[in-house]
Chain A
Amino acid sequence: MYSPIVLDHFHHPRHVGVVSAATGHARLENPVCGDVVEFWTRVVEDRLEEVGFRAFGCAAAIASASMLAELVRGLSSREVLTLEAADLVEALGGLPPSKTHGAALAVETLRAALGEGVIS
């Protein structure tokens, strides 16, 4: 059901946890299935220098957040914002159709984290 890439990211998630000196943070929940994703970002001179996540949900939700964190680290904000859920699904080696919402939630949460700016 899941690709080897998804299972690898699910069993060995990368970039878990709070980022020190974070400049952005967001936490979104899918009210239908209950998945929750939280991202912290540290942008320095328009580069996403560090990114971290926590996620509650199925393997697709956790693997999506992990893969997304890996994909965007070091990119400019603009580059990050061009990333779509479909790109993430592709990087994961595909997701079952009923699971693509996991990728969408990860992308949406990261965008929100970047848009939020400095944590008060």
Chain B
Amino acid sequence: MIYLDHAATTPVAPEVLEAMLPYFTRVYANPSNVHRPSLEARRALDQARQGVAGHLGARQASEIVFTASGTEADNLAVLGLARAHREHGDHVVTTRIEHHAVLHACDQLEREGFRVTRLPVDEWGRVDPQAVLEACGPGTVLVSVMLANNEIGSLQPVAEIAELLRGRGILLHSDAVQAVGHIPVDVGQLGVDALSLSAHKFHGPKGVGALYLKTGIRVEPLLFGGGQERGLRSGTENVPGVVGLARALDLACAGREERAERLRTLRNRLVERVLGELPDAHLTGHPELRLPGTASFVFEGAEGESLLLQLDRKGICVSTGSACSNATLEPSHVLKALGLPLQRAHGSLRLTLGRENTVEEVDQAAQALVEAVRRLRSLAPRSRS
């Protein structure tokens, strides 16, 4: 198998699994109690929190709230921050290419009476910081802009947005689920008030995420109960998951730049081969300001799901945002936001590389992809009317 779907999820690193295992079987006590096994579990949580805070450049470990997923972290940020600051305003600004964890949370805010502005992006999938500022008014309480897009890999100018918003009393959240562990993410340098991440995107386990929440900022919890995570996220802590998240982040941050450089080289090789051999093939997203491992294309005359299945038959795992791949029969909201003609959006394909991929795998995938596109084009009606 050649796995090129790392933006969807990544395999758990062996070192991460090893770090987690004792917390399933030996240190299984509930960290909320005061007997010694509980204290050991509590220590593991504290250490993990300290480690994550350090990697993100947070000032205090207490600024990290562990959740059960990136989606939950996004929901806690968007819903929790907006609801907690409702007395100051009822307006939220975001972009059209956010993950559904943010967009659907914004839909929920609208049902609760908030107003939401969803800003367009340019053809590279980047939002204009000035447009963010102009969208904000006296009633704006929250801006949510992702750090890196999951479909096309484009990076957003979050630090510039933070600079423009400074001193205006508007909270800034960034969904950094695709970014953490892959590009430098420092909450101080970004100037964000809240930032979401998810362990399984950087070789940690599924079922655990985290929200960075700057000290002093109020957030309304989504879950009520035992008051864990400073009352912000009730529910017995997922100790093995949190330990795994922290270990995975350690590994991801150690040697990140060299790894990113290697991924960029591999990705560029893939992109050049594919675009060099196929006419009417296009890279989506920004050519340079993008995640190191993300190659995303649209091909005219070859539908995305059909491409995916042809590659799957050769043991190559990729993703598509084409219309046929989802129940609504419409291309993904990200492809639509780029302003792609519908015809092109149908042929979208995303290949996301990871640390275990080799040059040989990339060459094999490029060759298979070129063949798959040619084959589907040979089946397609000649000139599309």
A107 contacts the other chain (Cβ, under 8 Å)? no
Interface size class of B (residues with CB under 8 A): 20 to 34
**A98 pairs with B384, CB closer than 8 A:** no
B309 nearest CB neighbor, chain A only: A59
A22 at the interface (CB under 8 A from B): no
* CB proximity of B281 to chain A, nearest CB, Å: 16
Which residue of the partner chain B has the closest CB to A27?
Answer: B381
A70 surroundings in chain B (CB, below 8 A): none
Instruction: Write the chain B residue with the least CB distance to A16.
Output: B379
Bound-complex Cα distance A61 to B306 (A): 10
B1 at the binding interface (Cβ < 8 Å): no
Q: Chain A interface: which of B57-65, B187-195, B324-332?
A: B324-332
B376 contact set on A, CB distance < 8 A: 56
In the bound assembly, the distance between CA atoms of A29 and B306 in angstroms comes to 17
Among A27, A29, A59, the residue within 8 A (CB) of B305 is A59
Q: Which residues of A contact B379 (CB under 8 A)?
A: 13, 16, 54-56, 62
Check if A60 sits within 8 Å of B324, measured CB to CB.
yes
Determine whether the beta carbon of B384 is less than 8 Å from that of A33. no
* B382 on interface, CB distance cutoff 8 Å: yes
Q: Within 8 Å of chain A (Cβ to Cβ): is B385?
A: yes
- Encoded as 1 (CB less than 8 Å from any A CB) or 0, chain B from 332 to 346 comes to 000000000011001
Contact in complex: B329, A33 (CB < 8 Å): yes
Q: How far is the CB of B329 from chain A (nearest CB, A)?
A: 4
**Residue from B310, B327, B381 within 8 A of A56 (CB atoms):** B381
From A11, A38, A59, A101, B381 is in contact (CB under 8 Å) with A38
**A29 close to B385 (CB less than 8 A):** yes
| In contact, A56 and B384 (Cβ under 8 angstroms) | yes
Contacts of A58 in B (CB 8 A): 303, 305-306, 322, 324-325
Decide yes or no whether B301 CB sits under 8 A from chain A: yes
Interface hub of A13, A33, A37 (most chain B Cβ within 10 A): A33
With contact pairs A32-B329, A33-B329, A101-B329 given, residues A54 and B324 touching in the complex (Cβ less than 8 Å):
no
Q: Which residues of B contact A94 (CB under 8 A)?
A: none
Q: Does A57 contact B (CB under 8 A)?
A: yes
Contact at B301–A56, with CB atoms within 8 Å?
Answer: yes
A35/B324 in contact, CB under 8 A: yes
Q: Chain A contact residues: over half helix, strand or loop, or mixed?
A: mixed
> Whole-angstrom distance between the alpha carbons of A101 and B327 in the complex?
11
Q: Which residue of B lies closest to A57 (CB)?
A: B303
Interface residues of B in 30-79 (CB under 8 A from A): none
Q: Which A residues touch B343, using CB under 8 A?
A: 34
Q: Which residues of A contact B303 (CB under 8 A)?
A: 34-35, 56-58, 61
Kindly state whether residue A36 has any CB partner on chain B within 8 Å.
yes
By CB atoms of chain B within 10 A, which of A11, A33, A34, A36 has the most? A34
The docked-state distance in angstroms from the alpha carbon of A38 to that of B380 is 9
Chain A residues, CB < 8 A from B330:
32-33
B313 contacts the other chain (CB 8 A):
yes
Q: Are B381 and A10 in touch, CB under 8 angstroms?
A: no
The answer to whether the Cβ of B266 comes within 8 Å of any Cβ in the partner chain is no
- Closest chain-B Cβ to A46's Cβ sits at a distance in Å of 27
Interchain nearest-CB distance for A109 vs B (Å): 10
**Docked-complex contact A11 and B380, CB < 8 angstroms:** no
- A7 within 8 Å of B (CB atoms): yes
The answer to whether B381 touches A34, judged by C-beta atoms less than 8 angstroms apart, is: no
CA distance A53 to B346 in the complex (A): 20
In the complex where A7-B309, A34-B342, A56-B303 touch, is A98 in contact with B381 (Cβ < 8 A)?
Answer: no
CB atoms of B306 and A59 under 8 A apart:
yes
B274 within 8 A of A: no
Q: Name which residue of chain B comes closest to A56, CB basis.
A: B380
The smallest beta-carbon distance between B82 and chain A, in angstroms, is 33
| Chain A residue at minimum C-beta to C-beta distance from B313 | A11
> What CA separation (Å) do A61 and B379 show in the bound complex?
11
A58 to chain B, nearest CB (A): 3
A2 CA / B325 CA spacing, docked (Å)? 12
10 contacts between A and B (CB under 8 A): A2-B309, A33-B329, A34-B323, A34-B343, A36-B384, A56-B346, A58-B305, A59-B306, A60-B324, A62-B379
Residues of B within 8 A of A (CB): 301-303, 305-306, 309-310, 313, 322-327, 329-330, 342-343, 346, 376, 378-382, 384-385
Residues of A within 8 A of B (CB): 2, 7, 10-11, 13, 16, 27, 29-30, 32-38, 54-62, 98-99, 101
9 extra A-B contacts, CB within 8 A, seeds A7-B309, A33-B329: A11-B310, A16-B379, A34-B346, A57-B346, A58-B305, A58-B306, A61-B303, A61-B324, A98-B327
Q: Please name the 9 residue pairs, one residue from A and one from B, whose CB atoms are nearest each other, closest first.
A: A58-B324, A56-B380, A33-B329, A58-B305, A38-B381, A34-B346, A33-B323, A54-B381, A98-B327
